[in-house]
Each structure stands twice: as C-alpha cells, then as structure tokens.
Amino acid sequence: MEVDRALDSAQKVSIVIDALKAGTLKVRKQDETLVRKLLALPRGITGLVDITSLAPEDVSIARAMALAMASLRQEQQEAAGSTESRLHDAQCELFRLFEEIFVGLTGAPSEVVKSQDEIKARMLDRVRDNDNFDDFNAVAGELEQFYQQNAASLFNIAKSLGGVKVVTGGQRTYGPSALAATRVAGLYCDTQLIPDPVAPFFSGNLHLNAMHLQLAIVLFYILPLRPLIDARLPEPPVFIFPSFEEMLEEKDAITQSGIASLMVKVVAPACNANLTTIDELLEFARKDENSFLDAISRERLFVPPGGDPKTVGSAQQAASIYLRELKGIRSDEALSAMERAPRGVLVFNGVLERLRPIYHLMENAEELAAQPMLSQGVHWYYFERCAQAEARELVNEHVLSRESLDVLRALQDDSLTWLANIPIEGLVDLRRNLEHAEFREQLKKCTAQLTSAAPAELEAVTKEVKHALEVMIQRQQKAIKDIEAKYSPKKWAAAVGGALSTAAGASMFFMPALAAASGVTAPVASVIAGLGGGGVAYAREFVGQVVEKRKARKTLLGLLATAHGVSK
C-alpha cells in the first residue's frame, strides 16, 4: 500500500513538474521555493522522478496541485463528450489525413505506389527537385490538431466497443506482418483495436534516421485498411486509437515504474543475484557483464530484430545482429552511442526495448477490456514470458475463450499465410453479411473435440484449423461445379439453330444498364445480344451461371478459395 501511495505521489509530482515547464500552471509567490525543489528533482533510468528528498508537506502541496489540474481536465473532457457519437466521422477524418500526409511526402496517392523502394525513390526525386514539402507541412499541422482534439475521446470510444475485441501490439511499428495479421484476424474478430502507428511521429523524438521516409512506410501499410473504415459498418472491423506510448514513457510515473518492474521480474531471476530494482539490474549488467550475458544467453531473453527464439544464439551474437539491423533506422547519434556502450549495457537495452511494447500491450488490453493479440512468433514469445513473470493469464476470458484464442493464433500459422491474400474489399463484404461470425462458429465446431477434455496444444489446434479450411475450400469448388452442371453447355446446340426473330428482344434485355444490374460485363452482354431467338433462352441461363458464379466467389468460402489459389 505504501509503495502504491509513493508511486501515486511521484505521478502527481511529475504532472505538476510538466505543467510548470509548459507554463500551464501558475503558482503563488510563497510556493516558488517548492517550485525550485520540484524542478531540481532527479530522474531514474526509466524517467521516474525521485521524490525521496521532498518533505511530506511539499508532497502534499504538489498532490493538491495535481488533483486540481485533473479536476479541470475532467470538466473539459466532459464538455467535449459529444465526440464519442462521431466514431465513424473521426476515423474517416483520420484516414483522410493519413492519405494526405502520404501524398504530401511521396507526391502520389497510396493506391498507385507499389513498394517501399518506390516510396524511397519518389521522395529522393522530390528532394533532388528541391521540393520544400509544403503540402506535407500543412497537413501535418492538421493532423497534430486532430490528435489534440480527439485523442482522449477516441480512446474512450475504443473502451466502449463490445464483441470479440482484440488489441494488437508487441511491436514498435505497423508493417507488412502487422497488415497481414490484421487481414487474417478480420475473418474472425468483431473489432481489432490498433494503436495508432502514426501518432508517435508527432508526439516525441523517436531517434530515427530518415524519419519522414519511415513515416511514409508506416502510412503505406496502414492505409490499405481504409475501405474497412470508409464502409462505416455498425461494428467497426478495425479501430485506430491513440495509445500515448511515447508520452507515457517520457512523463507518466506509473508507466515508468511498470516498465522497470516488468524488466526486473523477467530478467532478474535468471541472474542468480539479489536484484530488486532496475538500477541494480543495470549495475549488474555493467559490473558483472559476463555473468549477465551468460544469464541472458541461457534463458534466451534477447532475440534480436528478425531473430527466432528457437534458434537465437548467444547474447553477444544477438547484440551484433541488433546493431546491424538498426543501421539506417536509428539516428546516427543514437546508433553511435549504442555502439560505444559496453556489451552488457547494450544487451540490457535490447531486452528492455523488447519488453516495453509488451508492457503497453498488456496495459492497453486491461484498459480497453480487450484480448491482447500479436502478429509474430517472437512477440508471442515475449508476451508469454512477461505474462508468466507477472502471473497474468494469457487470455482475457471476459472477451475470448482460451479455445477461441488458440484458433485465432492458429490462423496466423506460417502454413496459412495465404489467408492474408484476401482483399480488404472482400473483408468489407463479409462484414456486411456477418459471415465472420459464421466462420468463427464453424472453426469452433471443428476444434470442439480437441478442447472438450482439456486445453489443447496449439499445434493440434492449428492442424484442425488447416483441415477445416481445406474442407471449406473443397465445398466451394463443389458449389462452382454444381453451378456449371446446372447450366450445361450442351444447350448451345439448340441455341445456335434458333431463329433471329427475337434478337431485338435480347439486345434490349442486355442493354448496358440492365447488364450492369445483372452483374454481366459489357463484352459478355454484347456477345449474347447477337444471338438468335433460341440463343435468348440460353442467354438467360448463361447470365444466371455468370451471376451465380460471381456470387459464389464473393462469399467467405469463395474468398478463401481464391486466396488459397493465389498463393499457389
């Protein structure tokens, strides 16, 4: 209880210090001595302010200041509460700004750009042409204003959503693997809450190299989700929310303490030393480097970018890969400092960077009453280590059953990567028809026998899910064959010999507007329109075949079969 009180006090003191530095808090003349004390307070490794030197009466005054500020902020938020009713408007506006930012950086709409290399080439061309990126600067100001006005309400809206709701995370950015995972989970979940990957570029120093290029790349992978946003479905398939991660790490005492505590809980037990704080752990990594690196290697606690927990080498090897992978991503200044650091300190930092996003994911899941969801095996590995260290359950039973989580994870297995071939526009249609809920129930039935006695191994669930998908695809292929059999080509013989007297009627029936309404393309319509009288009878059946096939391919089973075919 005392620890909680101390953390709460540190949090409130931090709020007051930030307000003083920003000039948003004015104090009485008699409090100026206290102000000097507050501004001189030191901070620990994670940025947590150390208030141990303050007298109890000073802490009390600072707490009172913070509470008064919080009350005022609450009144302001309540006055702006109408934003919640603008869920779709806010998300559509956000993606409009994302698109304009992308165009401002690259000079082209996102749908015409095909790769990261093309983004880089376009931006380099603009730099060579001495383009001052005025369009980007203008819309960047709009986006910053949007965040200031809507960030709090968007987070509250994310809290209010129900259904099978997952929150993604575990990584610092949104890239191809995250997009693929979003496509796949869209077949199963009601709503995916995605921490805004663009906001961090506008909220703090990320110590990135070529920051504008990296921003354009993040936009390139988040913008394909726009059709799911613009569809304005009653139950949003995806919802982009601000998670405030950078700001919280910099200013929030609870976050700073939480990250430090998680680092100690995960790493300290492996070190065979009495280490109870993050400062002691860092000192151990610095002074007893060999023991620290041996412990990290033995417990496989440091998996470098692009690494696999199952095959990761020693901590020394991982450190070399870590530095190599960060070249071109981190700023030269940050990378140089990392290269100069002792190996123990570098590995310490590498593990901490792995755990930070997991901490934020767990906190977001708790705040938003959602199931944590990750897109890569390495992130699941760290999530499981963190959950074990903090005695947390892997699954939020109020949102998702353990069996459902296993199915959702199975859908992300490497052998099912073809599921990500399903187009976003197809997902929109499935969601309109609520076929994702039907798909969820079908998979649940397929794995019910596995989980009836006890929790099943993920490998076994994956096997059953793969089998179920194969059966579904076979079912769709049979449906197409049944349609072809229903409209047998043998009728052509009768059609060709028919009279021409009703050709005009056929032409009228297949006028462009009617052809479009029937789902028949212009070339097909024009060919049919030229048939004779007997041809008209067949033509109507031919149209039926085309339309039925098209409908069959737009269903969930049809999209699965198409996606599977594309992967071959």
> Do 157 and 46 share a domain, yes or no?
no
Domain that holds residue 451: 408-568
> Do 151 and 234 share a domain, yes or no?
yes
Is 74 inside a domain boundary? yes
SS3 assignment, position 22: helix
> Do 511 and 556 share a domain, yes or no?
yes
Two structure tokens written together for 334: 């940050």
Note the pLDDT of residue 8: 74
> Do 138 and 32 share a domain, yes or no?
no
Is 564 inside a domain boundary? yes
Q: What is the number of domains present in the chain?
A: 3
Is 470 inside a domain boundary? yes
> Do 94 and 32 share a domain, yes or no?
no
> Do 549 and 415 share a domain, yes or no?
yes
User: At residue 72, what are phi and psi to the nearest 5 degrees?
Assistant: -65, -40
DSSP string spanning 255-292? Answer: HHHHHHHHHHHHHGGGGTS---SHHHHHHHHHHTHHHH
> Do 45 and 114 share a domain, yes or no?
no
Q: What is the DSSP letter of 223?
A: G
> Do 12 and 127 share a domain, yes or no?
no
SS3 assignment, position 171: coil
Parallel, antiparallel, or unpaired: how do β-strands 191-195 and 238-241 relate? parallel
Distance of alpha carbon 36 from alpha carbon 58, whole angstroms? 12
User: At residue 194, what are phi and psi to the nearest 5 degrees?
Assistant: -115, 120
Going residue by residue through the chain, which has 568 residues, state the pLDDT in tens, using 9 for 90 and above. 455 567 777 777 878 887 777 777 777 777 788 888 888 888 777 777 788 888 888 878 878 777 777 766 655 444 444 444 478 899 999 999 999 999 999 999 999 999 999 999 999 988 888 777 777 888 888 999 999 888 888 888 888 888 889 999 887 789 998 999 999 999 999 999 999 999 988 876 656 567 889 999 999 999 999 999 999 998 899 999 988 887 888 878 888 899 999 999 999 999 988 999 999 999 999 999 999 999 999 999 999 988 999 899 999 999 999 999 888 888 888 888 999 999 999 999 999 999 999 999 999 999 999 999 998 889 999 999 999 998 888 888 888 888 888 888 888 888 888 888 888 988 998 888 888 888 888 888 888 777 665 566 888 888 888 888 888 887 766 655 655 565 555 544 444 444 434 444 444 444 444 444 444 444 444 544 554 555 555 555 555 555 554 555 567 777 777 777 776 6
Pick the closest to residue 140 from 109, 116, 104, 90 (CA basis): 104
Is 282 inside a domain boundary? no
> Do 58 and 177 share a domain, yes or no?
no
Pick the closest to residue 175 from 304, 329, 309 (CA basis): 329
> Do 162 and 50 share a domain, yes or no?
no
Is 131 inside a domain boundary? yes
Note the pLDDT of residue 242: 87
Pick the closest to residue 245 from 163, 136, 359 (CA basis): 359
> Do 35 and 147 share a domain, yes or no?
no
Q: What residues have CB less than 8 Å from 163, skipping those under 6 apart?
A: 189, 190, 191, 235
CB atoms within 10 A of CB 499: 11
Which amino acid is present at 98? F
SS3 assignment, position 523: helix
- Looking at 32, 48, 79, which one is the last position of a domain? 79
CB atoms within 10 A of CB 160: 10
Is 501 inside a domain boundary? yes
SS3 assignment, position 113: coil
Pick the closest to residue 368 from 157, 82, 53 (CA basis): 157
Two structure tokens written together for 493: 């013989």
- Looking at 21, 54, 79, which one is the last position of a domain? 79
Is 303 inside a domain boundary? no
Distance of alpha carbon 470 from alpha carbon 431, whole angstroms? 22
> pTM to 2 decimals?
0.76
> Do 22 and 110 share a domain, yes or no?
no
By the 8 A CB rule, do 250 and 47 touch? yes
Note the pLDDT of residue 514: 41
Q: What residues have CB less than 8 Å from 276, skipping those under 6 apart?
A: 264, 268
Distance of alpha carbon 508 from alpha carbon 499, whole angstroms? 17
Is 352 inside a domain boundary? no
Note the pLDDT of residue 294: 96
For 195, the enclosing helix (H) or strand (E) is: strand 191-195
- Looking at 52, 79, 106, which one is the last position of a domain? 79
Token pair 């095909």 in the structure block, residue: 114
